[in-house]
Structure 1
Amino acid sequence: MRISRWILSAAAAAMLALGAGALSAQAAEKIKIGTEGAYPPFNTITPDGKVEGFDIDIANALCAQMKVECEIVTQDWDGIIPALQAKKFDAIIASMSITEERKKQVAFTHKYYTTPLALVAPKDSELTSTEPAALAGKTVGAQASTTQADFAQDVYGKAGAEAKLYPTQEEAITDLQNGRLDAVISDKFVLVDWLKKA
């Protein structure tokens, strides 16, 4: 993917600032970056075991600009912040939305992209709207520990939908494909990427 010079410069400055405090006073030769590895097109593991995606491109570009080796470490999403706090890696680059709750646990850089939420349903679905009332009595899947899960529970759940949460986005989509869900809510770019491949 092509990364704009502005995004790279802003992210590099933020990473350098984080690195100054988080990595110690001595110059780091290697930075460990935590990511999920299960959220295409942002981060995913290829069949041959390589981690790739937009977040990985950002991480590698930052490391190159900082002249350090970049080690990508995959971590289940619901444990990614605890793993950072346990120093399993030095920073997270993983399509993480900035929320007030998360700001209590980790320091964020400026966000480097914005993606809206989207809802996807099977072609033969009777759903004609994404309004909460339209999903009353329906089952909506989302990845656990995400802003999409919060929305599914807080908005659709209060309107009478059942929010079913999954460890990964892929598991939610699999249940949608197998008819166990009426819809899945996720980042628009993630769903568009999946629909292109489906």
Structure 2
Amino acid sequence: MRFMSSLAMAAITTTLLVGAASAEQVHVGFAAEPYPPFSSPDASGNWSGWEVEFMNAMCDAAKLDCVITPIAWDGIIPALTGGKIDMIVGSMTITKERKKSIDFSDKYYSAPPGIVGAKDLKFDATPGTLAGKVIGVQVGSIHYAYAHKHYEPAGATIRDYPTQDEANNDLLAGRIDATEMDRIAISTFLKTEQGAACCELKGMVEFDPEVLGEGVGVGLRKGDKELKSKVNAAIAEIRKNGTYDALSKKYFDFDIYGG
């Protein structure tokens, strides 16, 4: 009787462990390129930043075992639709174009874009003042879409980069005149020694809902309603219980969630 009970208990325990592992583990796509203060890997491959902490808090609330999976930004949506990852936590803006291929959670932050340029150059964020200027943008980003839609037709030259860091480096080196990025990334860049010496915020871009979207959300495969429900409930929970505000205050001196 004792032997049968132990055997039964072992079988039940094994079933529960296997079930939990297969049901709860999800692979979370992060852009492989550093994007401080949101996410950056160290030399050992350990990730840190606001978005990493947000993901951990969200996954804890949803009772998910989340595994960070670095993916090059321009391949992150195919990685999701192809099943290599289960969701994207990578400062991905919710847009109509992206909704054609993937689904999104509720937004978890919002940051309007702006134009940064060298201090000794005179222009603002309006298309007319950027005519004849070279603007660097990250491929696959809303800034890429916005610059090609609004600034290129007005006479600006748009230079595309695989990462925002590469655009920033060319701005610092004087190889481009300006770059477009979101307000939070701008704040981080201008707090660096090189950024503060070289550049300034020229202005915020005029809002275009078709391109700039509805805020940043977790990218999900279409039809994955169960995971979407868990993620939305978790975002709401950490917003309500103060976890979201507590971790955000470590990185920002303003409300990153937005209106």
TM-score band w.r.t. shorter chain: 0.7 to 0.9
Q: Which residue does 1:21 correspond to in 2?
A: none
Instruction: Please say if residues 43 and 54 of structure 1, whose CA atoms lie closer than 8 Å, have aligned partners that are also in contact.
Output: yes
How much has 1:92 moved relative to structure 2?
Answer: 0.5
Structure number with higher relative contact order (C-alpha < 8 Å, ≥ 6 residues apart): 2
Residue 123 (str. 1) matches residue 97 (str. 2): no
Q: Which residue does 1:34 correspond to in 2?
A: 29
Stretches of structure 2 lacking an aligned partner (at least 5 in a row): 1-20, 194-259
Once the two structures are superposed, residues 148-194 of structure 1 have per-residue CA deviations (whole angstroms, 9 ceiling, x without a partner) of 01111110101000111100000000010111100010011011111
Residue 154 (str. 1) matches residue 149 (str. 2): yes
Of 107, 111, 128, the match for 2:107 = 111
| 1:161-176 map, 5 Å | 161-176=156-171
How much has 1:27 moved relative to structure 2?
Answer: 5.9
For residue 181 of structure 1, give the secondary structure of its aligned residue in structure 2.
coil
Q: Which residue does 1:138 correspond to in 2?
A: 133
How much has 1:124 moved relative to structure 2?
Answer: 1.7
Give TM-score, length-normalised by structure 2. Answer: 0.63
Once the two structures are superposed, residues 83-121 of structure 1 have per-residue CA deviations (whole angstroms, 9 ceiling, x without a partner) of 111211110011101111100111101111110001111
The one-letter amino acid paired with 2:105 is T
For residue 185 of structure 1, give the secondary structure of its aligned residue in structure 2.
strand
The alignment covers a number of residue pairs equal to 174
Fraction of identical pairs, as percent: 40
Of 72, 77, 92, the match for 2:73 = 77
Q: Which residue does 1:46 correspond to in 2?
A: 42
Max Rg structure: 2
Q: Which residue does 1:194 correspond to in 2?
A: 189
Once the two structures are superposed, residues 47-84 of structure 1 have per-residue CA deviations (whole angstroms, 9 ceiling, x without a partner) of 44221222211211122123332211111111110011
For residue 163 of structure 1, give the secondary structure of its aligned residue in structure 2.
strand
Stretches of structure 1 lacking an aligned partner (at least 5 in a row): 1-25
For residue 35 of structure 1, give the secondary structure of its aligned residue in structure 2.
strand
